[in-house]
Amino acid sequence: MRVGSLVASLLTLAIVIAMSGCGDGGGDVSQPSSGSDGQKVQQKVKLNMASAFPTSLELIGSNGVRFSKTVEEVSAGTLELKFFEPGALVPALEAIPAVSKGSVDVAWSTSGFYAGNDLAFSFFTSVPFGASADELLAWLQYGGGNELADEMYAEHNIKAVPCFITPPEASGWFRKEINSVEDLKGMKMRFFGLGAKVMDKLGVATQLLAGGDIFQALQLGTIDATEFSVPSVDESSSFYQVAKHYYFPGWHQATALGHAFFNMDIWNSLSAYHQRIVEVSCGYILKEMIAEGEATQAPAMRRMVEKHGVTIHYWSDEILNAYRKAWNEVVVEESAINPKFKKVHDSYTKFREDYKLWGEHGYMR
């Protein structure tokens, strides 16, 4: 049996087991040809999925296609999410708004790209000095995070299904070495999410650019520096051709979560079986990306150092402390003016405080 077929069989079995006894009227979900819900399953559903990331990007782009193929295979071809490159349907940063309006069915993107509507959405992607991938998923799944996301996205006619995740990101690409906070002042830098608020406080002029637009902006000097993703993704973006100083750790994104964003009307029109196929397929992608992400970063870093002359740096305590101080100020300021920011931050922080007893004792240090 092919590996792909084996995966499809296992995922289908998981869906059937998960839905056993949960269907309306106790119908046998393992027999999708019977009952009203089964008749829906038999109908082929084709949806368009606009991606915020091109397939040329390792991990975050390529796994959008993997997700699409997984859904189609597990559903035996009855559910198709046709993957579209950024710009094919809508620009990368417009994918989620297009889903909200109903002009696009699904978006492969990240909540941080929707933070212009409410900064609190950023918590569902990453938080400065925040949780690792496993801790973030724990908060979402068992600490109320997904419920908060559902509540906020419902107001925008969106169903957001957690679907991909990355390891800790790098902190940025710079043309010159950064030795103090003063060196950052006046710099024009592409920056994402809540971390941009931190950099703004330190005198950096930040702007948000889609992944596919960063290299040209860096090459042309429209920006002086950039952060984007993990080393394997950054390598595929070729930033090393312009900037040689590569900084760690990714204090602004200890992990980065993405979703499959469905227009709510589209989501509600899907059968329960198709909805579960999406959710289980996303779980499979999350698992694959955790493993792939951890396996591919060291080789990418090594290639960039040995083949492209990149110098890897680790931020000094002085600069990391400046970032942390600025972040704490952002939290106080935003919590005072944005009730949703405060609500999500309070939930996130409480979970992390409760988690500490396990986190500080359960793992080797």
- pLDDT higher than threshold 70 for residue 4: no
Q: What's the pTM value of the predicted model, to 2 decimals? A: 0.90
Residues 10 and 144 in one domain: yes
Q: Which residue, 117, 119, 85, 120, is CA-closest to 100?
A: 117
- Per-residue pLDDT at 10: 53
Of 244, 267, 294, the one marking the end of a domain is 294
Mean pLDDT of 159-165: 98
- pLDDT higher than threshold 70 for residue 20: no
Residues 232 and 217 in one domain: yes
Query: Is position 74 within any domain?
Result: yes
Mean pLDDT of 318-341: 98
Please enumerate in sequence order all residues whose Cβ is within 8 A of that of 98, keeping only pairs 6 or more positions apart, or say none.
Answer: 50, 89, 90, 104, 107
Mean pLDDT of 60-77: 97
pLDDT digits (tens, 9 = 90+) for 252-308: 999 999 999 999 999 999 999 999 999 999 999 999 999 999 999 999 999 999 999
Looking up residue 341, the CATH number of its domain turns out to be 3.40.190.10
- Count CB-CB contacts under 10 A for residue 47: 21
Query: Mapping DSSP to helix (H, G, I), strand (E, B) and coil, where does residue 205 land?
Result: strand
Query: Is position 331 within any domain?
Result: yes
Q: What does 32-65 look like in DSSP terms, one character per residue?
A: TTSHHHHHHHHS-EEEEEEESS-TTSTTTTHHHH
Residues 121 and 219 in one domain: no
CA distance 95 to 267: 16
Residues 321 and 243 in one domain: yes
State the Cα angle at 133 between 132 and 134, rounded to 5°. Answer: 95
Residues 182 and 307 in one domain: yes
Looking up residue 139, the CATH number of its domain turns out to be 3.40.190.170
Write the burial class of residue 337 (CB in 10 Å: 0-12 exposed, 13-18 middle, 19+ buried): exposed
Given pLDDT bands bounded at 50, 70 and 90, which one contains residue 11?
Answer: low
Contact between residue 115 and residue 122 where contact means Cβ atoms under 8 Å apart? yes
Mean pLDDT of 229-245: 97
Q: Which residue, 169, 158, 185, 72, is CA-closest to 128?
A: 169
Residues 201 and 262 in one domain: no
- pLDDT higher than threshold 90 for residue 205: yes
- Per-residue pLDDT at 1: 43
- Per-residue pLDDT at 347: 98
Count up the domains in the chain and report the number: 2
Centroid of chain to Cα 84: 18
Residues 63 and 142 in one domain: yes
Given pLDDT bands bounded at 50, 70 and 90, which one contains residue 365?
Answer: confident
Residues 278 and 134 in one domain: yes
For residue 186, the enclosing domain spans 172-253+299-359
- pLDDT higher than threshold 60 for residue 28: no
Query: Is position 364 within any domain?
Result: no
The percentage of residues in the chain with a pLDDT greater than 90, rounded to a whole number, is: 87
At 8, which helix (H) or strand (E)?
helix 3-19
Top-confidence residue, 274 or 29: 274
- pLDDT higher than threshold 70 for residue 12: no
Query: Is position 365 within any domain?
Result: no
Of 294, 312, 347, the one marking the end of a domain is 294
Given pLDDT bands bounded at 50, 70 and 90, which one contains residue 190?
Answer: very high
Residues 207 and 305 in one domain: yes
Query: Mapping DSSP to helix (H, G, I), strand (E, B) and coil, where does residue 210 land?
Result: coil
CA distances from 89 to 46, 51, 65, 83, 320 (A): 15, 9, 16, 10, 40
